[in-house]
Chain A
Amino acid sequence: MDIPPGDRRTPHPAIELGLASVYERCRPDSGGDVATYIPELATVDPDQFGIALATIDGRLWTRGDAEAEFTVQSISKAFSLCLALELLGRDELYKHVGVEPSGDAFNAIVFDPRTQRPYNPMVNAGAITVCALICRAMRGEALEFVLDRLAKAAGRTLRVSDAVYRSEAETGHRNRAIGHLLLNVGAAQQPIEPTLDLYFRLCSVLATASDVARMGATLANIGENPFTGESVFDVVAVRDTLSVMFTCGMYDYSGSWALDVGIPAKSGVGGGVLGVVNRQLGIGTFSPRLDAKGNSVRGVKVFRSLADEFGLHAFECTNYGSELVRTLV
């Protein structure tokens, strides 16, 4: 699959200047550390920094290392959720995983004590449950199914990093433990190994900030890739996915993120952050140094600055709520 013809830089001074100013403002920040708990992640160049912004009319703006590949890690959780919703429907899906922010770290081995379900699909336990459900629905074709949709959302074929996958699979003892606890509470089913394998492989998918921006623009465009015109995700599933990203997407920083940035987002310990401005933008950032909560330091800073620059926050004084209500009152 080639980069689609619509995917080109179109001059727009206000966006160019805004993006340049945000990039320069955030670039000097060398705070944080690269993830090391997956050994292969520790080998990346920590100084890489890229921003990409894609609009729903199929235009892309980039700055810095926007074409550098990194593993998406937990960013894949947003897309797995979207696809599981399509496969199973919301009623069935939410029997197995909740939608409440956990306030716990991304790798917490904690379930909701009332329901015995993982708190939400954006933490590891919830995402492994989602993978179990996709495996149940798609059997041996689960990986192919998800990779195909990720490719359609990005507008190009995305491959799995073998090195990171092996590193994840060999050292993911905590995730294996979560898998077995999910069996114990009935949130996943045997055999658990294909589920864990799907989870590790999806974390190891390689993408660039530009890819992530285009995938975000596909979500922003109600599931249709604005660069290719291809329908990728279910309309209702997109709404649920964005809602869960909004409340749970940034690990235990999600509440502060809602205050400071105010858009649906999902970060990954590979240094990427995906952001979506409904019906307008997909945003992808990449910078590998992470803060204590597992979010990219520069990534968070970029989003805060972009929100200030372009009025992205859902409750910004420049934003209206329902456009439908606007036509009525």
Chain B
Amino acid sequence: MDLEVQHLGDGIDRVKLAGRLDTAGVEAVGARLSALTTTQAARILIDLSQVTFLASIGIRSLLTGARTLKQRGGRMAILSPQSVVAEVLELTGIATLIPVFHDLEAASAALKAPPPGA
């Protein structure tokens, strides 16, 4: 599992994951992912376009990150999951907790918008 961070401007970081986000995948990138979500009130776009499988432990890791970010005034969104991963996010109800987008522009706009109730 690979993790690459790209600064998009406007305080948004695109975190591009590649491979299987399973037990081994979380072992490989979990600490870096956690550091990205706990050290700053960041706006993080998790790019799942190169993720071929999302295991339960991977979902837990993303959800934990999203919650931590929210508590620190940041936000997380998911970008371009492959159809099998998108289906998992939908059926498990995670898509209602972390918004999922299929194009970069819409995702960036959503992350830039003030949080609901702000």
Chain A residues with CB under 8 Å of chain B are 14, 17-18, 21-22, 25, 305, 307-313, 316-320
Contact = CB atoms under 8 A, between A and B. Distances in A.
17 contacts: A18-B22, A21-B22, A21-B24, A22-B23, A25-B23, A307-B56, A308-B22, A308-B23, A309-B23, A309-B55, A311-B92, A312-B56, A313-B56, A317-B63, A318-B56, A318-B92, A318-B93
Given A18-B22, A25-B23, A309 B84 contact: no
Interface of B: 20, 22-24, 53, 55-57, 59-60, 63, 84, 88, 92-94
Nearest to B20: A17
Given A317-B63, A318-B92, A308 B56 contact: yes
Contact of B56 (A21, A25, A310, A320): A310
Contact of A308 (B53, B57, B63): B57
| Interface SS majority for chain A | helix
Contact of A305 (B23, B88, B93): B23
A329 to B, nearest CB: 12
Contacts of B24: 21, 25
Nearest to A309: B55
A319 B94 CA distance: 10
A25 B22 CA distance: 12
Contact of A14 (B23, B53, B92): B53
B93 A310 contact: no
A192 B115 CA distance: 70
B12 to A, nearest CB: 25
A316 B23 contact: no
A309 B93 contact: no
A138 to B, nearest CB: 42
A311 to B, nearest CB: 3
Contacts of B63: 317
Contacts of B53: 14, 17-18
B81 to A, nearest CB: 14
A312 B24 CA distance: 18
A312 B84 CA distance: 18
A134 B92 CA distance: 42
B59 to A, nearest CB: 5
Contacts of A311: 55-56, 59, 92
Contacts of B57: 308-309
A318 B23 contact: no
Q: Which of B53, B56, B88 has the most CB of A within 10 A?
A: B56
A306 to B, nearest CB: 9
Nearest to A320: B93
A174 B92 CA distance: 48
A18 B56 contact: no
Given A14-B53, A17-B20, A309-B22, A318 B84 contact: no
